[in-house]
């Protein structure tokens, strides 16, 4: 028998009426974007009302402890996303604790590592995106590519969010940065920068999540982008395609997306949507319908950028199940799996570089080549690197060293291209000699 045996699984929409709080919700309500947004779960009492008495106080106390002492993101989960947690039956404490969607959307205190819950070098903005702002919300990190954060909110908040320093509401442990300018002024400044920097050809339009930007504002921004001759690639970043597909299925939005897609095609610009799915459970017929609709109206590609997370998808079987569901059932191209970034309280999610390398090895040969995702390490000051591109690797101390071939917008010294940049494995994955070394180096 092969290490992995493929079986086709048709997508299905779990029955939301299994939850006591939604027994009377109709299909029309469920498929309505406004209903979904109005019934997002933001508090523990709201979650209790949905889940009912199959969940005990023990779990809710664990959740409350995490919200108070560890969480870097506030609670915000649409019904669509909750419905993919324990999809086959009403949840119990045990099934809820082990569920992969729950593990990153609703982290609990007992998930976190008792030793080294944060890496000593973890930082709020681990990729230094804010340091590389050339206008508010515009990160110029790569020579020909920029990231535009148009807003600082999402329809749902993932516990491992790499932009936890800016995105979402304050938590008891994190006071968020705030965008200072009005949206129109911020968007104008971004467009002005792109008009005067013809070397930039590729823009990721993100946030937050572009699904939280009123469509007329997003369409106006995109049409102005398309009027800049040097822009050749536009990628819309939205987890809402998976977490709130109802949004992308609204008739007025579909019509607007078609206008943008037709304009992009006429001008020879590649327009794509990048979404964020971490486990096959998240893929339902509504998600597939949203993806196929975007393709039907002219979006060139819908691609997935997942995050490699322990307890969620960090096995070859989980990754392959997800990729086959994405590519074969939902029309979404598996593109990247990022190693989880070095933000505070994220060590229980992160994997070591050698583990990521093994996973890349283990998924090869099963998927079509064009649908085989690359597993990448996003190295601070370097950028995305395939996990096998490491230059040196001290496995005992969990320190890998990487090189780069360009300077960021905050570097002008040629020596930046001659040095190596470190990245750090989770300390709990190291041998005892390695953990002893870190303990000695960072003794309190």
Kindly report, residue by residue over 155-180, the tens digit of the pLDDT. 999 999 999 999 999 999 999 999 99
pLDDT tens-digit readout, 20-71? 999 999 999 999 999 999 999 999 999 999 999 889 999 999 999 999 999 9
- Provide the 8-state DSSP code for 327: I
Query: Cα separation of 149 and 137, whole Å?
Result: 5
Structure tokens at 5: 């045996």
Q: Over 80: is that where the pLDDT of 240 sits?
A: yes
- Helices (DSSP H) in 134-226: which residue ranges? 183-195, 215-226
Give the pLDDT score at 413. 74
**Helix (H/G/I), strand (E/B), else coil: 24:** coil
* pLDDT range class, residue 320, cuts 50, 70, 90: very high
Confidence at residue 170, expressed as pLDDT on a 0 to 100 scale: 94
Residue 390 · residue 416 · CB < 8 Å: no
Q: Burial-class residue 301 by CB neighbours within 10 Å (0-12, 13-18, 19+).
A: middle
Is the Cα dihedral 293, 304, 156, 101 positive or negative?
Answer: positive
Task: Give the angle 307-256-199 at the CA atoms, nearest 5°.
Answer: 60
User: Could you give the CA distance from residue 23 to residue 237 in angstroms, rounded to a whole number?
Assistant: 33
Helix ranges restricted to H, 267-315: 285-296
Determine the pLDDT at residue 421: 96
pLDDT at 24: 98
pLDDT at 444 over 70: no
- For the stretch 373-425, pLDDT in tens is 999 999 999 999 999 999 999 999 999 999 999 988 888 777 678 899 999 99
**How many whole angstroms separate alpha carbon 124 and alpha carbon 163?**
8
| Lookup result for tokens 């969480």 | 71
- 444 vs 441: CA distance, rounded Å: 9
d(CA 249, CA 296): 12
Residue 360 CA to residue 230 CA, distance in Å, equals 35
Both structure tokens of 156 = 């749902």
C-alpha to C-alpha distances, 332 to 241, 325, 429, nearest whole angstrom: 10, 9, 33
Residues 155, 93: Cα–Cα separation, whole Å: 26
Q: Is the pLDDT assigned to residue 443 strictly greater than 80?
A: no
Average pLDDT over residues 317-342: 98
Q: Exposure pattern of 16-38 as b/e (b: 16+ CB <10 Å)?
A: bebbebbeeeeeebbbebebbbe
Mean pLDDT to the nearest integer, 313-336:
98
Q: Which helix (H) or strand (E) holds 389?
A: none
Q: Kindly state the percentage of the chain with pLDDT values over 90.
A: 95
The helix/strand/coil state of 267 is coil
DSSP state of 341: P
Mean pLDDT of the chain: 96
Cis peptide before 208 (omega within 30 of 0): yes
Residue written as token pair 């990245």: 423
386 has which bridge partners? Answer: 376
> Which of 89, 107, 87, 91 is closest to 280 using CA atoms?
87
Contact call for residues 262 and 235 (beta carbons, < 8 A): no
Residue 433: pLDDT over 80: yes
Q: What is the dihedral of CA 422, 423, 424, 425, to 10 degrees?
A: -140
Q: What single DSSP character describes residue 279?
A: S
Residue given tokens 């990190």 in the structure block: 141
pLDDT at 273: 98
What is the layout of strands, in order, in the sheet containing 399-402? Answer: 392-394, 399-402, 421-424
């Amino acid at each position: 028998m092969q290490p992995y045996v493929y079986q086709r699984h048709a997508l299905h929409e779990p029955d939301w009426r299994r939850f006591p709080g939604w027994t009377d919700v109709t299909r029309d309500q469920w498929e309505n974007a406004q209903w979904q947004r109005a019934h997002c779960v933001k508090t523990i009492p709201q979650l209790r009302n949905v889940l009912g008495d199959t969940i005990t106080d023990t779990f809710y106390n664990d959740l409350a402890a995490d919200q108070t002492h560890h969480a870097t993101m506030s609670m915000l989960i649409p019904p669509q996303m909750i419905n993919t947690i324990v999809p086959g039956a009403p949840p119990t404490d045990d099934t809820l604790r082990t569920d992969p969607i729950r593990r990153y959307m609703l982290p609990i205190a007992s998930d976190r590592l008792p030793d080294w819950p944060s890496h000593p070098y973890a930082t709020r903005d681990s990729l230094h995106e804010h340091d590389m702002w050339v206008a508010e919300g515009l990160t110029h990190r790569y020579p020909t590519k920029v990231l535009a954060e148009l807003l600082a909110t999402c329809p749902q908040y993932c516990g491992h969010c790499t932009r936890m320093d800016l995105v979402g509401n304050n938590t008891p442990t994190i006071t968020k940065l705030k965008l200072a300018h009005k949206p129109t002024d911020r968007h104008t400044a971004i467009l002005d920068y792109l008009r005067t920097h013809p070397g930039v050809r590729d823009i990721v339009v993100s946030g937050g999540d572009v699904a939280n930007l009123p469509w007329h504002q997003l369409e106006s921004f995109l049409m102005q982008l398309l009027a800049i001759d040097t822009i050749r690639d536009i990628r819309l970043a939205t987890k809402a395609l998976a977490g709130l597909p109802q949004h992308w299925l609204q008739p007025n939005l579909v019509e607007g997306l078609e206008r943008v897609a037709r304009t992009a095609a006429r001008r020879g610009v590649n327009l794509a949507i990048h979404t964020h799915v971490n486990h096959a459970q998240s893929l339902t017929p509504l998600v597939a319908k949203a993806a196929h609709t975007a393709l039907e109206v002219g979006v060139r590609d819908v691609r997935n950028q997942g995050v490699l997370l322990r307890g969620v998808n960090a096995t070859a079987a989980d990754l392959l199940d997800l990729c086959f569901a994405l590519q074969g059932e939902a029309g979404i191209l598996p593109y990247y799996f990022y190693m989880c970034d070095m933000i505070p309280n994220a060590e229980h999610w992160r994997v070591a570089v050698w583990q990521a390398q093994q996973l890349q090895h283990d998924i090869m040969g099963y998927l079509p080549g064009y649908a085989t995702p690359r597993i990448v390490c996003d190295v601070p000051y370097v950028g995305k690197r395939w996990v096998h591109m490491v230059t040196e690797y001290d496995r005992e101390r969990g320190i890998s060293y990487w090189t780069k071939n360009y300077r960021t917008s905050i570097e002008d010294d040629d020596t930046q291209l001659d040095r190596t940049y470190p990245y750090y494995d989770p300390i709990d994955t190291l041998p005892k000699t390695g953990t002893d070394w870190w303990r000695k180096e960072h003794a309190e």
